[in-house]
């Protein structure tokens, strides 16, 4: 089999997505997700201008070598744009190979290790009462693990909480990035109160998670982890920006609250120290931003040696193709932890019809060959790309801060 062509589609069915389709001389095609929220066109250009010309004519079964060619062959290594582009090709090749061999991708990755994948969803409220209402609503749908985020008294706008009660939508279309404000001490004083109320309301069995979105220092994160211990969270996510991996040692020394990080990571080198020093409990890299299934399988294998489990980032700014790839990986590996499930909207699901489905708190990958996701190009064409930015964040005195 030979790769004959590869095309990149940039559309906005519900939100912006970059989709890669790789064609072969045998009529089989593979799909990859190249979406990088707020930076979509840079990945599209990296693919069309630089990577795709090098794969035309190649045997699509040579996945490892094509991955190495993209990674080592550029001389310039790592980074979210590069790795998302390499990841889209890699995932499309696994999809293609699964279709060619008429088997789901998880069978190529080692075979089924579990029946379904435990997922967590989001409950975001403007205050504690509304967050509790949202948790009730998500529990009703069958979720057994729920991430709780709430507005903080004294802060006008906060990560994860939309002002108008709409589903969470972080990338804003039109104009320049929106500006938000932040105050770590208000947040740190408030969060244990939220946790206590939610635990009292729902009892011990519901898994609770929370995302600090990279806003704390290590010692602040240590304080937060400690203050949440009585409420036994499943994990505390992205407390500190993780460029400084050894920063996690400080957090670890002070708290038994499980730690998760990794949604902005793109190679094994972003988490090598975190894993080998057992500084985290869950690695949250997602397949498309992490360079594809080829490296993610290796990262999961390294993590397994150190009692670290996976918890792939599954926000709706990655397409159903990426979510499916995460589900195939999670189905095959032994050290799967949990999968984020924000739920794409109906239009996105129509453009990307998929075999995976939610039932009773678990996502099931389905048995379709390849990834089990298709892409309706005709429908997607009706929704052209619109530039959108993630917000930026400032402290009360105007200092630029992490969003």
The binding site for ligand GCO (CB under 6 A) comprises: 37, 170, 211, 213, 263, 313, 315, 317, 340, 390
The reply to whether 281 sits near Mg ion by the rule CB under 5 A is: no
CB of 170 to ligand GCO, least distance (A): 5
Q: Which of 31, 30, 38 is nearest to 81 (CA)?
A: 38
Question: Is 383 tagged catalytic?
Answer: no
Question: What are 269's two structure tokens?
Answer: 């080198």
Active-site position among 210, 213, 341, 354 = 213
Q: Is 340 in the site for Mg ion (CB under 5 A)?
A: no
Structure-token pair, residue 146: 């729920």
Q: 3-state SS of the chain: helix, strand, coil percent to 5?
A: 35, 20, 45
- Residue 315 binds which entry of Mg ion, ligand GCO, none, CB below 5-8 Å type-dependent: ligand GCO
Nearer to Mg ion, 14 or 311 (CB): 311
Distance in Å, CB of 213 to ligand GCO, minimum: 6
Of residues 77-136, which lie at the interface with Mg ion (CB under 5 A)?
none
Q: How far is the CB of 133 from ligand GCO (least distance, A)?
A: 21
95 binds, among ligand GCO, Mg ion, none (CB under 5 to 8 A by kind): none
Whether residue 147 contacts residue 210, with contact meaning beta carbons closer than 8 Å, is answered with yes
Nearer to Mg ion, 285 or 327 (CB): 285
Give 44 or 109: the residue with its C-beta nearer to ligand GCO: 44
- Of the listed pieces 100-108, 179-187, 209-217, 388-396, which binds Mg ion according to CB under 5 A? 209-217
Comparing CB distances to ligand GCO, the nearer of 192 and 391 is 391
To the nearest whole angstrom, how small is the minimum distance from the Cβ of residue 64 to ligand GCO? 29
- Among residues 159, 187, 231, 282, the one annotated as catalytic is 159
Write down the least CB distance from residue 262 to ligand GCO, Å: 10
- How far is Cα of residue 331 from the mean position of the Cα atoms in its chain? 16
* Residue 90 binding result from ligand GCO, Mg ion, none, given CB thresholds of 5 to 8 Å by partner type: none
Are 80 and 266 spatial neighbours (Cβ–Cβ below 8 Å)? yes
Residues 6+ apart with CB under 8 A from 355: 324, 365, 366, 367, 368, 372, 373
Residue 373's CB is within 10 A of a number of other CB atoms, namely 24
Q: Which is nearer to ligand GCO, 30 or 320 (CB)?
A: 320
Minimum distance from residue 282 beta carbon to Mg ion (Å): 11
Binding range to Mg ion, per CB under 5 A, among 207-215, 217-225, 273-281, 321-329: 207-215
Q: How far is the CB of 403 from ligand GCO (least distance, A)?
A: 8
Strands 235-237 and 207-211: parallel
User: Distance between CA 386 and CA 15 in Å, rounded?
Assistant: 8
Distance in angstroms (rounded) separating the CA atoms of residues 260 and 186: 23
Give DSSP secondary structure letters for 69-96.
HHHHTTSS---HHHHHHHHHHHHHHHHH
Angle ∠(266,191,323) on CA atoms, nearest 5: 30
Q: Which residue is nearest to Mg ion (CB)?
A: 211
* Binding piece for Mg ion, criterion CB under 5 A, among 90-98, 206-214, 319-327, 347-355: 206-214
Q: Which is nearer to Mg ion, 211 or 220 (CB)?
A: 211
**Partners of 173 in beta bridges:** 388
- Give yes or no for a contact between 297 and 333, defined as CB atoms under 8 angstroms apart: yes
Q: For residues 198 and 236, which CB has a smaller minimum distance to ligand GCO in the complex? A: 236
- Is 213 noted as a catalytic residue in this protein? yes
Element (H, E) at 180: strand 179-182
Q: 10 Å Cβ neighbour count for 308?
A: 26
Q: Helices 320-332 and 293-305, interaxial angle, to 10°?
A: 40
211 binds Mg ion (CB under 5 A): yes
Please list the active-site residues. 159, 213
Residues lying near Mg ion in the complex (CB under 5 A): 211
């Amino acid at each position: 089999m030979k790769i004959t062509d590869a095309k990149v589609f940039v559309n906005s069915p519900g939100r912006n997505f970059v989709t890669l389709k790789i064609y072969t001389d045998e009529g089989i095609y593979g799909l990859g997700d190249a979406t990088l929220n707020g930076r979509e066109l840079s990945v599209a250009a990296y693919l069309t201008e630089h990577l795709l010309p090098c794969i035309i004519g190649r045997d699509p079964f040579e996945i490892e070598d094509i991955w190495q060619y993209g990674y080592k062959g550029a001389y310039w290594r790592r980074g979210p744009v590069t790795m998302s582009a390499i990841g889209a090709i890699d995932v499309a090749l696994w999809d293609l190979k699964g279709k060619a061999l008429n088997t789901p991708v998880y069978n190529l990755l080692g075979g089924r290790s579990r029946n379904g994948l435990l997922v967590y969803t989001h409950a975001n409220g403007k205050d504690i009462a509304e967050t509790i209402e949202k948790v009730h609503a998500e529990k009703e749908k069958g979720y057994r693990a729920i991430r709780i985020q709430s507005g903080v008294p004294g802060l006008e706008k906060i990560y994860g909480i939309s002002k108008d009660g709409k589903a969470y939508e972080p990338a804003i279309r039109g104009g320049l990035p929106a500006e938000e404000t932040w105050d770590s001490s208000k947040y740190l004083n408030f969060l244990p109160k939220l946790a206590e109320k939610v635990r009292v309301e729902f009892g011990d069995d519901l898994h609770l998670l929370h995302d600090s979105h990279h806003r704390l220092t290590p010692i602040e994160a240590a304080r937060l982890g400690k203050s949440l211990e009585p409420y036994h969270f499943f994990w505390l996510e992205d407390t500190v920006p993780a460029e400084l991996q050894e920063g996690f040692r400080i957090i670890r020394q002070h708290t038994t609250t499980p730690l998760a990080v990794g949604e902005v990571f793109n190679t094994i080198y972003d988490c090598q120290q975190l894993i080998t020093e057992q500084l985290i409990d869950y690695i949250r890299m997602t397949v498309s931003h992490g360079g594809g299934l080829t490296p993610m399988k290796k990262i999961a294998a390294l993590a397994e040696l150190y009692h670290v489990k996976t918890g792939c980032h599954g926000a709706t700014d990655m397409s159903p193709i990426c979510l499916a790839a995460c589900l195939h990986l999670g189905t095959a590996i032994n050290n799967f932890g949990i999968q984020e499930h924000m739920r794409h909207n109906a239009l996105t699901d129509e453009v990307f019809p998929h075999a995976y489905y939610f039932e009773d708190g678990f996502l099931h990958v389905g048995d379709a060959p390849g990834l089990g996701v298709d892409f309706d190009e005709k429908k997607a064409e009706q929704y052209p790309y619109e530039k959108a930015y993630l917000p930026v964040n400032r402290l009360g005195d105007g200092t630029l801060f992490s969003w």
